[in-house]
Every structure is written in C-alpha cells, then in structure tokens.
Structure 1
Amino acid sequence: MILKGVLSAIVTPFTADGEKIDEAALRKLVEQGIADGVDGFVPAGGTGEFSVLSHDERLRLVEIVVDQTAGRASVLAHTGATSTREAVAFSKHAQEVGASAVMLATPYYEPIGFNEAFAYYAGVAEATDLPICAYNFPPATGLHLDVDFLLKLTREIPQVKYVKDSSANIMQMSTLINEHANEIHFLNGEDVLMLPALMLKAPGMVMGIANFMAPALAKLHQASQSGDDQTVVTIWRQIYPLICLLGSGRYNSGVKAACELLGLSVGPVRAPIPQYSSEQKAVLKNVLAEIDPALLTGAAR
C-alpha cells in the first residue's frame, strides 16, 4: 500500500486520569477518521505522545489501529526509539501485526551524527521487510536529516521510500519534491508549510489536525493534485488562524482540546505534557467557530 494523501497523526486517547489508554475511544477515533476521509494513520507518533508511553502501550496502540482499520486505510507505525535495539523490536512487531510501513525519528537525548543515524536505519531495515519512512524533526532530535543524507539512505537502503519532514525547511521540501520525487516520497509534516507543499503537489501529509479536520485536509489534497489552486488558497485562508494558534505552543494539548470541543472523546494529555488552560480553550473554541463546519470532523455535526 503506497502512502499518500492525508495521514492522521492520531492522538492517543487516555482515561480521565491519564493512567490508561482508552481503547474504545481509540477505535471510535479511527472510525471517525476513515469516515472523515483520511487515507492512513500514524499511531505512536509525536501527536500520539509516544514519549510518555510505555513499551507495551506503544505495541498495543499499533495493534488496535491496525485491527480497527482492517485494511481500509494505511497504518504507518512510528517505531523510532532512543536505541536501535528497541526500534528494531517495535518495527518487527509492526510487521507482525500488519502495519503498512514504519516511520522512525532518529534517537534523541544522546547526540548522534549521520553515521550513527544511517546505521540505525540500516539496522531496522535488516530486521523487517516493511517500507521505511525517515522522520526528520530536528527540534526534537537535534539532528537535521538533509537532502544528501536522505538520498544516501534511499539509494543504499532500498526500503527507505518516504520521508516525513517536519523541519520547516522550505528549500529542502522544494528540492525533494521537484528534483527527487522518483527516489523518495515527501510527506509534509509541518503545518505552517502546508500551503507551499500543496502548491508543489506533495504526494502526502502527516498532520495532527487530521484528528479533527480531515475533511479540510482531504479537500486540500484533492484540489492540490488536480491543480485547483484557488480551492487550496480558499480553504487555507479559513484554517490558517487555527494553524497559527496551535503552532504558538502546546500543540498536542491543543489538538486534543479541539477534538473534545468537536465531540471526539480523547481525554487529557499525559503528564508532564502541559494541558491547555481554560483561557486557551476559550480562544480555540472561537477560532474553530469561524471555520466552515463542512471542513471539520463529522463528529461535530
């Protein structure tokens, strides 16, 4: 299954006390996402709060999402970890339960360079047959996967077929899409660069806002691929204030707050991730009210 279109960086619903994954809510969220038009899901990613999940919780998340999608949407399981050993274990499990592909952010906290990052991806490729999506998010990992490194990856490790790029580097995005689309597929992971990515006809996107705004993103992607730039701009102008608000801080908390405001039960973020304040929720509610309801999740209608 080729990864393209709108991939939801699906949140991890928790019980009210944040202690357990709310499995029933997760299954409902998958169903709503499919109904809203997403092409795939990315469980246990950044928006899914993977950094505060246990090893077993990450395994269970992937199992549930794969089971609930039942082949109706792709599942790009985030299997990145701070050690190659654990990344391999997550990736082998993803293959065993039926994920479409695996995505790996490079290890963080302990600084590494390109040689170590290459060996990390190579180690995962040796352990699984699944397609691999490199995840470039330098603010979190401390390592920017530049064009040269990504091309080395895909040329020397054929399983590396995608990159989710959240670097906010518009030159890198343009180079990869315009000059190397036949070698590595670009998935935009940066909300604020959505407009230029759409204008460049990026083949796909991985977005946290897809949890509650998949109809807008599906329309944007379809318009982009068909060359309907006016529709792209019109929708973008509607959702831009929301993009700015979420990008101003506490992104994960904001996505979950938006879900709750629109009828999707996802619970709180898990400590120590900061919750949205009541004041922030009030501002968010007002911003959402300015968006055409047809662009928001059907759960709100």
Structure 2
Amino acid sequence: MNGIFSALVVPFDEHGEIIEKGLREVVRHNIDVQQIDGLYVNGSTGENFLMNTEQKKQVFRIVQEESQGAITLIAQIGSLDIYEAIDLGIYARDLGYDSLSAVTPYYYPFSFEEIKNYYLTLVKETNHKMIIYSIPALTGVHMNMNQFDELLQEEQIIGVKYTAGDFFLLERLRQRYPNKMIFSGFDEMLIHGTVSGVDGAIGSTYNVNGRKARRIFELAQEGNVAEAYQLQHETNDLIESLLDIGIYQAIKGILREQGVQAGLCKAPLTPRHNVDTTTMQQLIKKHQL
C-alpha cells in the first residue's frame, strides 16, 4: 500500500446529486491516464463533509465497482457522528476497501483521550485497518509524538496521512515507526515528504497531475533531488494557478477540458468559477497535463 494516491474528486450536478457516469469517468481517468497506485475516497477533495450518508455510500460503491481491484482503495470515513463513521466503515470494509481512514474529530475542543477513544472505537467496531488523517490546519488538532505513540501502538492503526508542515515531527515518526505507513498529504511539499521517507502521497492535484507527481516521488527516492526539485517547482506553479481559480473548481475544469464529465462542486462551495476554456487549455498545454 504505497505510491501515488489521488484524493478523488466527485462530480455533482446543479442540484448537488452525484453524477454516476461522471464519477466512473474520473475513476477511469485516474487509473488509465494518471496511472495512480490508489484512490483516497471521500476525503476533503471529494467534498465529503458536504454529503449525506447515502451519498457517501454511493461514492464508495461506484468507485469499488469501477476500479475492479486494479488499484488500492482507502475509504475516508471520519465524521463528527461516530455512529455514521462506524456505519460507513463497515460498509466500505464489506465492499473490499483495503483500509479505512478517518480525519481527527474537529470543531469542538476534543481532548486527546476523546480523540484516542474515537479511533479505538472505529477500529474495534469495524475490525479493519485504519490510517489516521492528520490535517491540523483544518481541524485545529495538533498531535505530538507522545500522542501519535499511543495511537500507533494499536496494531490495526497502520499509519498516518500526514498533512502538516512540521517536518521534524515527520522525521521522528518515520524513524520510530519504520513499519507503519506514512503518506504525505501536501502536494506542494511532495519532494520534502519523499526525502523524509514517506511511503507514498495522497493529493488533490494528482487527479490531473499524477504522472508528474510519480516522477517527483521516484526521482527523490533515487536520490536525484535536483531534478525532482525542478519538477516540484513546475508543479507548484500549477498549484498556484489552481488555487487562484479555486482548487476543486479548477481541477474539475481541467478534467472537463480533457473530456471527463467532472461536474460541479456542491453548495455552499461555488459550483463553478467563471474561467474561460482558453485559460484551462493553456494550463493543460503549459503543464503537459
């Protein structure tokens, strides 16, 4: 369970319903064109926190059907409703997902004991492997080494999706847990994570830039840091352009230009920014997407 994973985008129509045909096309694009190793399903990029439980299950089912065991699948089930998370975890496990993942509880000022109990409950009730999703910039949850120690001692907690800029903590995690999976979560810091010894990376932009991300990953692993840095510079130029437009809207806009029915974003996100086709085509040409 390593390599480049796309945090899967989900196409919605103007009423906020999932476009099944479009979702299947996005999955196929990731597998056939971007040649990713796996999909991280129902994460932030998939607008998970804007969906109801049935929509989340619909996404899990469609992705599993379309991928047909060709790639590794990780199901993000995190929710403030722990009973929903358990339900989703059992559902994804029974579909054959390779692992579960769950974002740390957010919004309320949870104690670490509450966070720890959340993960241990999910592992116990789903009886499946778990990857912690640590993204402190969005959740406000900053776990230290001792707290990670307490969680990673659990056998079925197999690793961390590490979306943070503290590379000292990342290095300490890697050194102490050589047999746990660590995924880099910041696309713009892929080279830094790879040099720090991560097992793979999970990112939004890999839906359209997965092949270049793989090249950065492989070059850095091989010790060709200067060449990898050049590709990271080029990638970050792309990321800046996508952020200026709106990251999810821009990724979907590029996919549409490439013939993939990527749909709209789900309200209250702006469904689609008014960026002309020419701009998108120029990005595709400039960055060889």
TM normalised by structure 2 equals 0.92
Shift of 1:285: 4.9
Aligned residue among 251, 260, 263 for 2:259: 263
Residues of 2 paired with 1:151 and 1:190: CA distance? 22
Unmatched 5+ stretches in structure 1: 297-301
Shift of 1:101: 0.3
Contact 1:216 1:235 in 2 (8 A): yes
- Answering whether residue 165 of structure 2 is matched by residue 168 of structure 1, we say yes
| 2:200 maps to amino acid | G
Q: Which residue of 2 aligns with 1:194?
A: 190
- Per-residue CA deviations over 1:220-279 (Å, capped at 9, x if unaligned) read 222233333243123212212112233457322232223223332211101101245325
Contact 2:38 2:73 in 1 (8 A): yes
| 2:192 maps to amino acid | P
Residues of 1 paired with 2:212 and 2:109: CA distance? 38
- Answering whether residue 61 of structure 2 is matched by residue 63 of structure 1, we say yes
CA separation of 1:175/1:246 partners in 2, compared to 1, >3 Å: closer, same or farther? farther
Residue 38 of structure 1 aligns to a residue whose secondary structure is: coil
Aligned CA-pair RMSD = 2.0
| 1:245 maps to amino acid | S
Aligned length: 288
Q: Which residue of 1 aligns with 2:156?
A: 159
- Write the mapping of 1:152-301 to structure 2, written as runs, cut at 5 A: 152-155=150-153, 157-177=154-174, 179-247=175-243, 250-275=246-271, 277-279=273-275, 285-291=281-287, 293=288, 296=289
Residues of 2 paired with 1:281 and 1:143: CA distance? 39
Residues of 1 paired with 2:231 and 2:15: CA distance? 35
Contact 1:151 1:183 in 2 (8 A): no
The worse-fitting range, judged by mean Cα deviation, of 241-250 and 275-284 is 275-284
Contact 2:191 2:217 in 1 (8 A): no
Residue 197 of structure 2 aligns to a residue whose secondary structure is: coil
Q: Which residue of 2 aligns with 1:24?
A: 21
Identity of aligned residues (%): 22
Shift of 1:48: 0.1
Q: Which residue of 2 aligns with 1:299?
A: none
Shift of 1:287: 4.0
| 1:273 maps to amino acid | L
TM normalised by structure 1 equals 0.88
Contact 2:28 2:67 in 1 (8 A): yes
Shift of 1:18: 4.0
The worse-fitting range, judged by mean Cα deviation, of 164-173 and 37-46 is 164-173
Contact 2:190 2:217 in 1 (8 A): no
Aligned residue among 30, 35, 40 for 1:33: 30
Residue 120 of structure 1 aligns to a residue whose secondary structure is: helix
Contact 1:41 1:76 in 2 (8 A): yes
Contact 2:265 2:272 in 1 (8 A): no
Residue 94 of structure 1 aligns to a residue whose secondary structure is: helix
